[in-house]
Amino acid sequence: MLDAKFIRQNPDVVRQALVNRQSATEPLDEFLELDEARRRLLTESEGLKAERNRESEEIAKMKRAGQDAAAEIARMREVSDRIKELDAQVKEIEERLDLVTLNIPNVPHPTTPVGKDAADNIPIKTWGEPRKFDFDPVPHWEIGPVLDILDFERGSKITGSGFILYKGLGARLERALFSWMLDLHVQKHGYTEVFPPFLVNRQSMIGTGQIPKMEEDMYRCNEDDLFLDPTAEVPVTNIHRDEILSAEDLPIYYTAYSACFRREAGAAGKDTRGLLRVHQFNKVEMVKFTTPETSYDEHEKLLQNAEEVFQLLEIPYRVLLLCTGDISFAAAKCYDVEAWAPGVGQWLECSSCSNFEDFQARRANIRFRPDKGAKPEFVHTLNASGVALPRTFIAVMENYQQADGTIVVPKVLRPYMSGVEVIGKG
């Protein structure tokens, strides 16, 4: 969330941000109105409280001196009643104010291009040459069942559409992918591996910004008010919720595997075939906590770490700089990494690499002390998928397919598959 003071002092900046994001500006107007009312009521209430505190001390003194304080007590009873009224109003306003503030998105960074929707995202880089096939490459949803490594029908039977059963070397390939990615980030890029809970509470979801805006898209356990992780970003960023870190601790790098669960409400029917858009998937995530000064340098390095996954897999990819109309609610700047999938003939988003600046840190109250004895400041949080599995799995299958229908295993994954070089039939 944004700093209330910042909004109050820079309403025009926030208004422009909302316009650039194609978002409604009413929440801003409501904020300004409620904020003004809150301060007005607070001033009155606190003035009365100051009086009450003074007077209560007098009463205590009088009682100790054996004097009668009945008149003072009677008067203070009235003051207290008035305070109670005012505080009730303040509380109501603050509740609404919190809700409004939680629904105002981050202000995009100046380098985030202004644009309407995904069509205005800017391609900034392409890596690798799409392979030339001497046969027609087929989509993964045809390869998978033939090789008996993906079973879409049984996944649907067990749970429903969008839930996949991986089998045999398919299951093995999936496991190889995330094991290898974790090792890469831990051993080569210096991240600390964590294995978080897959269910998180409401406070954690609010901390990273999925709630309240996206609550309908989350799987939820009503009895316990817990949510299934939509991404490891949630539990991992919340590791340091309500903490004050010391400057020497920063930057902190975490990487985590988690299963991810998304209802994908409203996305039904679009690009949902095969593994393109599923309700449960595996992902390796990278999360950083940094000082404000270094976050944009760290953001570039984070992108490189995500890109390297595809470089080592030898899969062509491109990088997009997202525009204001397509960037997520909490992000100030975001790159997408899209892998080339020749079977479906599409670039597939496999990683989003975001700098949230202090937007999540303020929500989750994650601070650091710049120097010993200095006032705590909010950290900057960043994260990137490193990377999401299903579409990477697609890219591996479709880029490495052969004319006979088999799949060559990328070299870097072979040690993770007991040396298997080709996934064949049977």
Partner RNA sequence: GGAGAGAUGGCUGAGUGGUCGAAAGCGGUCGCCUGCUAAGCGAUUGUGGGGCCAUUAAACCCCACCCCGGGUUCGAAUCCCGGUCUCUCCGCCA
**How many Cα atoms occupy the beta-carbon half-sphere of 345 within 13 Å?**
3
Which sign, positive or negative, has the C-alpha torsion 316, 322, 328, 331?
positive
CA 150 to CA 5: how far, in whole Å? 53
Q: Which stretch binds RNA (CB under 7 A): 38-46, 111-119, 132-140, 334-342?
A: 38-46
Q: Contact between 53 and RNA (CB under 7 A)?
A: yes
Q: Contact between 63 and RNA (CB under 7 A)?
A: yes
Q: Contact between 56 and RNA (CB under 7 A)?
A: yes
Q: Contact between 60 and RNA (CB under 7 A)?
A: yes
Q: Which of 33, 349, 377, 414 is catalytic?
A: 349
Nearer Cβ to RNA (84/157): 84
Helix/strand/coil for 2: coil
Nearer Cβ to RNA (8/241): 8
Give the helix/strand (H/E) hosting 407: strand 407-408
Q: Which of 174, 171, 221, 172 is nearest to 198 (CA)?
A: 221
Among 23, 25, 80, 294, binds RNA (CB under 7 A): 80
Asked whether the beta carbons of 43 and 140 are under 8 A apart, the reply is no
Q: Contact between 11 and RNA (CB under 7 A)?
A: no
Q: Which of 239, 249, 248, 247 is nearest to 361 (CA)?
A: 239
Q: Which of 262, 362, 363, 367 is catalytic?
A: 262
Residue 40 is among the residues annotated as catalytic for this protein: no
- 3-class secondary structure per residue, 238-273: HHHCCEEEEHHHCCEEEEEEEEEECCCCCCCCCCCC
x/- binding map, residues 211-230, to RNA, per CB under 7 A?
Answer: --------------------
Q: Contact between 5 and RNA (CB under 7 A)?
A: yes
In sequence order, what DSSP letters do the residues of 307-355 get, joined into one string? HHHHHHHT--EEEEEPPTTTS-TT-SEEEEEEEEETTTTEEEEEEEEEE
Q: Contact between 132 and RNA (CB under 7 A)?
A: no
Shortest distance, position 301 Cβ to RNA, whole Å = 29
The pair of three-digit structure tokens given for residue 204, joined into one six-digit string: 């954690």
Q: Contact between 73 and RNA (CB under 7 A)?
A: yes
The pair of three-digit structure tokens given for residue 229, joined into one six-digit string: 């992780």
Q: Contact between 375 and RNA (CB under 7 A)?
A: yes
Among 71, 372, 419, 426, binds RNA (CB under 7 A): 372
Helix/strand/coil for 283: strand
Provide the 10 A C-beta neighbour count for residue 108.
22
The pair of three-digit structure tokens given for residue 249, joined into one six-digit string: 């601790």
Nearer Cβ to RNA (242/271): 242
Q: Which of 277, 362, 363, 367 is catalytic?
A: 277
Residue 262 is among the residues annotated as catalytic for this protein: yes
Nearer Cβ to RNA (234/423): 234
x/- binding map, residues 89-108, to RNA, per CB under 7 A?
Answer: --x-----------------
Shortest distance, position 266 Cβ to RNA, whole Å = 32
Shortest distance, position 188 Cβ to RNA, whole Å = 34
Nearer Cβ to RNA (47/212): 47
Q: Contact between 23 and RNA (CB under 7 A)?
A: no
Residue 349 is among the residues annotated as catalytic for this protein: yes
Shortest distance, position 246 Cβ to RNA, whole Å = 10
**How many Cα atoms occupy the beta-carbon half-sphere of 410 within 13 Å?**
22
CA 326 to CA 310: how far, in whole Å? 24
Contacts of 145 (CB under 8 A, 6+ apart): 151, 152
DSSP conformational letter for 417: G
Positions of E strands within 54-130: 122-127
Shortest distance, position 337 Cβ to RNA, whole Å = 36
Among 15, 25, 30, 59, binds RNA (CB under 7 A): 59
Q: Contact between 50 and RNA (CB under 7 A)?
A: yes
Nearer Cβ to RNA (4/194): 4
User: Which amino acid, one-letter code, is at 22?
Assistant: Q
Residue 156 is among the residues annotated as catalytic for this protein: no
Nearer Cβ to RNA (305/360): 360
Shortest distance, position 2 Cβ to RNA, whole Å = 12
Contacts of 73 (CB under 8 A, 6+ apart): 59
Shortest distance, position 383 Cβ to RNA, whole Å = 24
Residue 414 is among the residues annotated as catalytic for this protein: no
User: Which amino acid, one-letter code, is at 42?
Assistant: L
Nearer Cβ to RNA (77/132): 77
CA 138 to CA 398: how far, in whole Å? 7
**389-399 vs 295-313: helix axis angle to the nearest 10?**
40
- Tokens 């820079």 locate to 10
Q: Which residues bind RNA (CB under 7 A)?
A: 4-5, 8-9, 39, 42-43, 46-47, 49-50, 52-57, 59-60, 63, 73, 76-77, 79-80, 91, 372-373, 375-376
Q: Which residues are catalytic?
A: 262, 277, 349, 352, 391
